[in-house]
Amino acid sequence: MDDSEQAATAAIESGLMVAVGDRVAFRHALLRDAVYEEIAEPRRRGLHHRWGQVLLACEDAGAIPRPAEVARQLRMAGADTEAVPQLGRAAAEARELGALEHAAEYLEEAVEIDVDRADLWLELAQVEAWRGRADRSEDAFGRAFALLEGGEPLVLARAWLQHARVNHGPICAPRVARDSARTALGLIEQTKLAAGEERTEALATYAWCEAVAGDVDEAERLIDRLTADGHASGDWRV
């Protein structure tokens, strides 16, 4: 019997803990809390960090991922920077399940730690849009645009396309979507990188918005540009 087994046996025999199947648990939550508080802070942080790494190792071994729990352990260990990617994964997982409130909470926690992650601000902006919180969505987009300004034009163009999507999706604001698509198109035309998919989406969105809330003739011209683009394909072109 190793030291951990001996300790568990002694704890059960003393009445401090109880056996539950093949596991042991504290007899009462107050006992658990008291024991936890008696652990010195440096050791406590080390144990939380170790447990976070164990959870990650379990995932690497094929276990069901638990990014929210990993993030919680890392934050309790004081390893906030390490927790940010896990919070982002937890948000993505929550969004897939339709748990938008939880997704927003994870993302808010992540950007509070690392305010310079434009990708997380963009994700938060989209989640807030789907929650019907237009003001919060705009604020998050604004933070992302400020971080991306002056960088690679195509990256910024993709961000503006995300802005366009939410404004002709969960938020119905055709003029805002039009301006965003126009801005994205201007940025795409500045880059020398291949951006066929982005250009197709920008032209199609811009044309749709003009047809709905702008100039129909301009919409026709944009559709002609899209049709003449030999690289355009897919649903946007249709």
Q: Could you tell me if residue 230 is inside a domain? A: yes
- For 68, the 3-state DSSP assignment is helix
Q: Burial-class residue 170 by CB neighbours within 10 Å (0-12, 13-18, 19+).
A: middle
* For residues 203-214, average pLDDT: 90
Q: Could you tell me if residue 94 is inside a domain? A: no
d(CA 216, CA 204): 13
Q: How many domains is the chain built from?
A: 1
Q: What is the largest CA-CA distance in the chain?
A: 84
d(CA 25, CA 15): 11
DSSP for 144-175, please give it.
HHHHHTTS-HHHHHHHHHHHHHHHBTTSB-HH
* For residues 157-175, average pLDDT: 95
Q: Could you tell me if residue 44 is inside a domain? A: no
Q: Could you tell me if residue 31 is inside a domain? A: no
The domain in which residue 181 lies consists of 150-238
Q: Could you tell me if residue 185 is inside a domain? A: yes
pLDDT digits (tens, 9 = 90+) for 52-73: 888 888 876 666 768 999 999 9
pLDDT of residue 235 exceeding 80, the answer is no
16 band by pLDDT with thresholds 50, 70 and 90: confident
d(CA 59, CA 56): 5
Q: Could you tell me if residue 199 is inside a domain? A: yes
Q: Could you tell me if residue 174 is inside a domain? A: yes
Predicted TM-score (pTM) above 0.85: no
* For residues 16-34, average pLDDT: 74
Q: Would you say 216 and 176 are in contact if contact means Cβ atoms under 8 Å apart? A: no
Q: Could you tell me if residue 154 is inside a domain? A: yes
DSSP annotation of 24 reads: E
pLDDT at 17 (0 to 100) = 75
Quick one: CA dihedral 23, 24, 27, 29, positive or negative? negative
- For 25, the 3-state DSSP assignment is strand
